[in-house]
Structure 1
Amino acid sequence: MNDPLFDLDGRVAVVTGGFGLLGSELSAALLDRGMRVAVVDLRETPHHHADELMGAVERGVVRHHAADVTDRAAVEGVLAAVEQEWGVPHLLVNAAAIDAPPGAPAAEVGPFEDVPLGAIERVVDVNVLGTLVPCQVIGAAMARERRGSIVNVASVYGMVSPDQSLYDFRREQGEVFVKPVAYAASKSAVLNLTRYLATYWGGSGVRVNTITPHGIVDGQPEPFVEAFARRSPLGRLMEAREAVGAVVFLASDASSYVTGANIVVDGGWTAW
């Protein structure tokens, strides 16, 4: 028998970035636990679990909304569609985020002093405003219902500075590479946005928490994988599925007295 504390059957979730590396894992996990899932993602196909999630779209228990999470009108349109079909969401997971891509121009991954402001603004826009806007729109609807859970996805690099030595292999290959500042600054903002909203909506029955994963397996170069393993207490990168437990906990009644918290899922990275 399922533990009623963790029962999510029949509830409604909105997952931004829900077809991405982490988001698709979370979307599939919530679907498997009986939730109806509205995916908000400009991607057309899931990174993981494509057959399962696209089949669920066909069955009508997953809906895909190709909306820009920084566009308030677009997010309001998503909420209106979800409410009309399923009612006010019980869960919002903000997993949409970007970082400097592997093929970013050298200027964007060069010395801090020289990083173009446009590159920083692009990351901050998606990672901060793209979390804040869905919170504004969907969190407000939850507050009217006097219930709901918001889970914002942060990063270890919002808690501690990037370990630049992980990228020595790139410099040894002759590249100019510094892990950029924008991602770290944006994810630290997400942490305090969570605390702000936890206190703001506490009296309305809406809980707001953060999960902080780190180093998710995604086909990284072997020198990076080896350097990461040496630095990690658990000696390896994280599998995307290993974030599921924290999100299910925060989505469920098992965490009914948890708000303003940050659940760190980092293999012990921040323990030393």
Structure 2
Amino acid sequence: MKSIKELMDLSGRTALVTGGAGYIGTAFCEALAEAGANIAVLDISEERTHEAAQAIEKRFNVKTMPLAIDLSDEAAVVASPERAAETLGGLDILVNCAAFVGTSNLSGWVTSFEQQSIETWRAALETNLTAPFALIQAATPFLRKSGHGSIVNIGSTYGVVGPDMSLYEGTAMGNPAAYAASKGGLTQLTRWLSTVLAPDIRVNSISPGGIARGQDEKFVERYEVRTPLKRMGKEEDMKGALLYLASDLSAYVTGQNLMVDGGWTAW
């Protein structure tokens, strides 16, 4: 029987992480690299992507590859698994972490439902749902060949439950329909793929709760009161969940959505 240390060991495996230079994406890259995986860091900013890849390589002594790609560029997206596999010697793990959160110049995002624009809706679904579909499709031959193929999609509590809009009253924050719909779609895509790609590839998802990043104090206070563990999440809270689903620790787990939300969705 393998030890826990052996089951979590990712030495010799390669992971492709979208949004890998972002807050949670960086934590994911660190967790996988610390377990021995080589990392392809995919993000939209060429500078941040290269910096993240270099930092991971230096800190954990693994091979890395920066992939500066806009997820709306279909050709670049579908080419990235092959590029990663050729450079890093295969592909074993795919983490779809990148998300559209309204950081573009599009309007109609954080506003009333009546004012939310179709253009922004389409942009959110393109990044949060269509790009993962295309990336998974392109990665499937490499993940099948791996013998340890694991896909981890990053959803959200708001892909599972409806929003409590009172949390946002008196703040500049909001909760757009497109974010919830795209994340809910990604969670259902996870379930669909888990049966279709089995037994060669396992497919699971993680749905994080709110992560503390200097939000309005009124929002934070309301959020913490509504959370059983009485705090917002941290990036490092996601590391264990990702390592579990990416490694052989979860070799008999597929089609699951792991809530990492401090108990937010438990009541």
TM value normalised by structure 1: 0.88
How far has the Cα of 1:182 moved from its partner? 0.6
Q: Contact between 1:217 and 1:238, CA under 8 Å: does it hold in 2?
A: yes
Distance 1:268 1:188, change over 3 A: same
Distance 1:70 1:82, change over 3 A: same
How far has the Cα of 1:220 moved from its partner? 1.1
Match for residue 265 of structure 2?
270
Equivalences for 1:104-119 in 2 at 5 Å? 105=107, 107-119=108-120
Provide the aligned length of Structure 1 versus Structure 2. 263
Distance 1:111 1:92, change over 3 A: same
CA distance, structure 1, for counterparts of residue 76 and residue 53 of structure 2? 25
Is 1:159 the counterpart of 2:155? The answer is no
Match for residue 123 of structure 1?
124
CA distance, structure 1, for counterparts of residue 192 and residue 104 of structure 2? 33
Distance 1:143 1:63, change over 3 A: same
Distance 1:100 1:128, change over 3 A: same
Which amino acid in structure 2 is aligned with residue 52 of structure 1? A
CA RMSD of aligned residues (A): 2.4
Q: Contact between 2:100 and 2:124, CA under 8 Å: does it hold in 1?
A: yes
Q: Contact between 2:8 and 2:35, CA under 8 Å: does it hold in 1?
A: no
What SS is found at the alignment partner of 1:217? coil
Is 1:228 the counterpart of 2:223? The answer is yes
Match for residue 189 of structure 2?
193
CA deviation digits over 1:170-206, x for unaligned, max 9?
Answer: 2xxxx6x652111000000001100111111113x10
CA distance, structure 2, for counterparts of residue 220 and residue 42 of structure 1? 24
Choose the corresponding residue for 1:3, options 2, 5, 19. 5
Equivalences for 1:164-175 in 2 at 5 Å? 164-170=165-171
CA distance, structure 1, for counterparts of residue 10 and residue 57 of structure 2? 21
Match for residue 67 of structure 1?
69
Q: Contact between 1:25 and 1:49, CA under 8 Å: does it hold in 2?
A: no
% identity of equivalent residues: 38
How far has the Cα of 1:54 moved from its partner? 6.7
Choose the corresponding residue for 1:245, options 233, 236, 240. 240
Match for residue 97 of structure 2?
95
Distance 1:72 1:119, change over 3 A: closer
Which amino acid in structure 1 is aligned with residue 128 of structure 2? N
CA deviation digits over 1:78-98, x for unaligned, max 9?
Answer: 223222222221100000101
TM value normalised by structure 2: 0.90
Which amino acid in structure 2 is aligned with residue 16 of structure 1? T
Distance 1:49 1:25, change over 3 A: farther
CA distance, structure 2, for counterparts of residue 189 and residue 49 of structure 1? 29
What SS is found at the alignment partner of 2:94? strand
Match for residue 20 of structure 1?
22
Which amino acid in structure 1 is aligned with residue 125 of structure 2? V
What SS is found at the alignment partner of 2:140? helix
CA deviation digits over 1:202-257, x for unaligned, max 9?
Answer: 13x10000001010121212111111111111111000111111110111111111
How far has the Cα of 1:60 moved from its partner? 6.8
Q: Contact between 1:151 and 1:211, CA under 8 Å: does it hold in 2?
A: yes
CA distance, structure 2, for counterparts of residue 100 and residue 135 of structure 1? 24
Unaligned runs of 5+ in 1: none
CA deviation digits over 1:142-165, x for unaligned, max 9?
Answer: 124454000000000000011111
Choose the corresponding residue for 2:82, options 77, 80, 83. 80
CA distance, structure 2, for counterparts of residue 135 and residue 270 of structure 1? 28
Q: Contact between 2:151 and 2:202, CA under 8 Å: does it hold in 1?
A: yes
Match for residue 217 of structure 1?
212
Q: Contact between 1:40 and 1:69, CA under 8 Å: does it hold in 2?
A: no
Is 1:184 the counterpart of 2:180? The answer is yes
Q: Contact between 1:16 and 1:40, CA under 8 Å: does it hold in 2?
A: yes
Match for residue 141 of structure 1?
142
